[in-house]
């Protein structure tokens, strides 16, 4: 069987796939969309991260493809409906980068509170601006988590370690369960009104796109900090810009953008915005975890028909 790995996958995952005698594994991370469309007909499995866009035309050209496997969580780069229509299984690896992404969120939260990126830049340009970069303690502040799934839960746990009060809104998870995590389950409106920090941890769907928009910002506490290490577009970028300019939002930490890499994004002109280039899942540990998990899942499916995380 032929496997195409079209995005950078940690070596441990590639080696695992290569260890199967029946598999012919090709790693090619430089294919254009058109090239992928041309070659996809030869493959039984396609292993991706976020760079490859598996659109309907790719799926239509795939004559023997049985599985599209994403090393990572988000499946927004795969046309799942088209794959399903063609009987192709789409799987992800939802566990391997959870801790890493939660840790990135906490790093962003602290960096935002203490102006670390801005102060580093200032220091490196020869300045010593102690007054300008006075920050805020996170102790005893309220962190509002939107989406208390796998990542949100770990963020909550780490934030509690910092002695923050954690509240969460999640329409899909029962309040009893949330409360058992030591987190107070609240309504969306309550979260907006009470949080000193708001961090989103949902996928991007019709329901979550523009969830934090002008109307939501208007209900927030003045001086709130906003963190998005989930998906670009959950926080409306223009409305966030306006909310920062009007003083409702004191600062934002963004790892994700509606357009990646961002192009002429006005948010990136604001000193109160700190950012990283979608690094949430980028640690050695997480990349190895998801690569090994994706390889295991592809092997299990192609050799035994076992479907996991589809
Ligand atoms: C994920 O969905 O797994 C993360 O956002 C990381 C990524 O897209 O590479």
- Strands 2-5 and 89-91, how do they pair? unpaired
User: For atom 5 of ligand 1, which residue has the closest CA?
Assistant: 74
User: For atom 8 of ligand 1, which residue has the closest CA?
Assistant: 50
The verdict on residue 119 lying in a domain is yes
The verdict on residue 130 lying in a domain is yes
Which atom of ligand 1 is closest in space to residue 290's alpha carbon?
3
Q: What letter would DSSP give residue 97?
A: T
- Position 279 scores a pLDDT of 98
Q: Could you give the number of structural domains in the chain?
A: 2
* 3-class DSSP state of 184: strand
Instruction: List, in sequence order, every residue forming a beta bridge with 168; answer none if it has no partner.
Output: 145, 185
106: containing domain: 98-275
120 and 85 within one domain:
no
- Position 211 scores a pLDDT of 98
- Position 172 scores a pLDDT of 97
- Position 245 scores a pLDDT of 98
Reported as a single tens digit per residue, the pLDDT across 4-41 is 999 999 999 999 999 999 999 999 999 999 999 999 99
Q: Evaluate whether 101 touches 229 at the Cβ level (below 8 Å).
A: yes
Known catalytic residue at 33: no
Known catalytic residue at 278: yes
| Interval between CA 176 and ligand 1 midpoint (Å) | 29
Instruction: Determine which one of 70, 104, 153, 278 is catalytic.
Output: 278
Q: What is the CATH number of the domain that holds 150?
A: 3.40.50.720
121 and 32 within one domain:
no
220 and 76 within one domain:
no
- Position 292 scores a pLDDT of 98
Q: Evaluate whether 287 touches 10 at the Cβ level (below 8 Å).
A: yes
Residues of the chain with pLDDT under 50: none
Residues whose CB is less than 8 angstroms from the CB of residue 7 and which lie 6 or more positions away in sequence, other chains included: 29, 47, 48, 49, 50, 51, 52, 71
230 and 191 within one domain:
yes
125 and 85 within one domain:
no
Ligand 1-lining residues (CB < 6 angstroms) = 49-50, 72-74, 97, 280-281
């Amino acid at each position: 069987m032929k496997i195409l790995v079209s995005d950078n996958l940690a070596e441990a995952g590639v080696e695992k796939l290569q260890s199967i005698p029946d598999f012919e594994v090709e790693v090619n991370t430089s294919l254009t969309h058109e090239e992928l469309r041309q070659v996809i007909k030869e493959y039984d499995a396609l292993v991706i991260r976020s760079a490859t866009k598996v659109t309907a035309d790719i799926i239509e050209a795939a004559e023997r493809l049985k599985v599209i496997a994403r090393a990572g969580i988000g499946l927004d780069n795969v046309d799942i409906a088209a794959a399903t229509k063609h009987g192709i299984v789409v799987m992800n690896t939802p566990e391997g980068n959870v801790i890493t992404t939660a840790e990135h969120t906490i790093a962003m939260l602290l960096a935002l509170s203490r102006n670390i990126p801005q102060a580093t830049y200032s220091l490196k340009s020869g300045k010593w601006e102690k007054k300008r970069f006075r920050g805020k303690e996170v102790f005893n502040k309220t962190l509002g988590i939107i989406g208390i799934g796998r990542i949100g839960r770990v963020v909550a746990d780490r934030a509690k370690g910092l002695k923050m009060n954690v509240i969460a809104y999640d329409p899909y998870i029962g309040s009893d369960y949330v409360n058992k995590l030591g987190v107070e389950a609240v309504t969306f409106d309550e979260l907006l009104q009470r949080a000193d920090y708001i961090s989103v941890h949902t996928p991007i769907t019709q329901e979550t796109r523009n969830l934090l928009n002008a109307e939501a910002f208007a209900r927030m506490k003045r001086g709130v900090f906003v963190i998005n290490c989930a998906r670009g577009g959950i926080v409306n970028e223009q409305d966030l810009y306006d909310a920062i300019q009007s003083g409702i939002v004191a600062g934002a930490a963004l790892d994700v953008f509606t357009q990646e890499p961002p192009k002429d994004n006005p948010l990136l002109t604001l000193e109160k915005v700190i950012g990283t280039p979608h690094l949430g899942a980028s640690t050695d540990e997480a990349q190895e975890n998801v690569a090994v998990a994706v390889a295991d899942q592809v092997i299990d499916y192609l050799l035994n028909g076992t479907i996991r995380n589809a």
